Amino acid sequence: MRILVTGAGGQIGLALVPALQAQGHEVLATDIQPLAFSGPTQCLDVTNVPAVRALLESWRPDAVYHLAAFLSARSEKEPRAGWRLNFEAFWELLEACVTYGVKQVFWASSIAAFGPHTPRHHTPQYAPMDPIGLYGIAKLTAERLSEYFFLHYSLDVRSLRFPGVVGPGHLPQGGTTDFAVHMFYAAKKEKRYCCYLLPHTRLPMIYLSDAIRAILELMEAPAERLTVRSAYNIQGLSFSPAELVAHIQRRVPDFVCTYEPDFRQRLAESWPESLDDSYARREWGWQPHYDLPALVESMWQALEPLS
C-alpha cells in the first residue's frame, strides 16, 4: 500500500513509520519539521489545506495515518491553535481523503475525550463524555466526525483512544501523561525528578510497542467485524507516579521524586484510571503484552546507553 503519515516526528510516528515500512508498505512520512527516515519524507503543515490537498492529489495514498496534534497541556496553553490543528485540520483532511479516493484513515484519539462524569474504573466503550480540556473537546468532536464520515461517505475511518504512551527514543512534550517517560530519563541522568501530578494519581498507560501493534492490528482487521467508528478503548496497564517511582528505585535506590502539581492535575483527575477494552478484544483480538514490571525493564534496557 501507499501510505501517508502526518505528524511522523512525534512519539508514535517515529515508531510507526518503520513498522509500516517493515510490512512492505511505501510510506511518505510528513511533519512540520524536517524528518530523518530511510524512506521518502516531506515537510507538511496539516493546517495548510491547499498543501494537504495537493499532496494527496500527487501521492494518491491508499491509507492515511493522521498523528499530527497538539497534546493536552499545550492545547490548554494555545487553545485556538490546538482547536485548529486537532479538529479543523482533521475535518479538512477527511474531506480531502474522500475527494482523492483514500481507502482507509487512522487517527489517534485519547482518553482526554472522557470527563469528570465518566466512570473512572473500567471505563466502558460507551460512557458519558464531558471533557474539560480543549484537547479532549477536540478529540471527542473528532470522534463524532469520524463516525459521520463513515456513515455518510463510506470512508473507512478507524481510531484508538490512547492512554499515556510510554517508550524510549522520544521525549514527549505537551502531554499530561509525559511524566511516565520523563521520569526514566531523569532517573538515569540526575537521579531526581519533580512531578507535576500528585503521587497517587493513577492513569491508564500503554507501552510504545503495544501501541504500535494495536494500530497495525486494528488497521488489518476486516471492516465487517468493526462496530466502533468513533474510537476504540484500549487498556494496557494503569499506574501512578508513586508506583513508577517505587519500581525505578529498585534500580536506582537514591532516586528522589518530589511533587509540585500544576494545571495538569485537574485534567488527570477528570480522566479514567482504567479502561474496559472488551470491544477491541472481541472484535479485532486486542491483547496487551506489557505490565508495569515488563514496561520498566524494557525502558531501562533501552536507556542503558545513558548510564
14 alpha carbon, distance to own chain's centre:
12
Which entry of 135, 196, 232, 279 is annotated as an active-site residue?
A: 135
Task: Name the β-bridge partners of 63.
Answer: 3, 104
3-state secondary structure the chain: CEEEEECCCCHHHHHHHHHHHHCCCEEEEEECCCCCCCCCEEECCCCCHHHHHHHHHHHCCCEEEECCCCCHHHHHHCHHHHHHHHHHHHHHHHHHHHHCCCCEEEEEEEHHHCCCCCCCCCECCCCCCCCCCHHHHHHHHHHHHHHHHHHHHCCEEEEEEECEEECCCCCCCCCCCCHHHHHHHHHHHCCEEEECCCCCCCEEEEEHHHHHHHHHHHHHCCHHHCCCCCCEECCCEEECHHHHHHHHHCCCCCCEEEECCCCHHHHHHCCCCCECCHHHHHHHCCCCCCCHHHHHHHHHHHCHHHC
Q: Examine the residue annotation and report whether 153 is marked as an active-site residue of this protein.
A: no
Q: Which residues pair with 104 in a beta bridge?
A: 63, 156
Phi-psi region of 122 (alpha: psi -120 to 50; beta: other; left: phi over 0): left
Contacts of 16 (CB under 8 A, 6+ apart): 5, 8, 65, 67, 212, 215
Q: What's the first-to-final CA gap in the chain, in angstroms? A: 41
- Which residues have a catalytic role annotated? 135
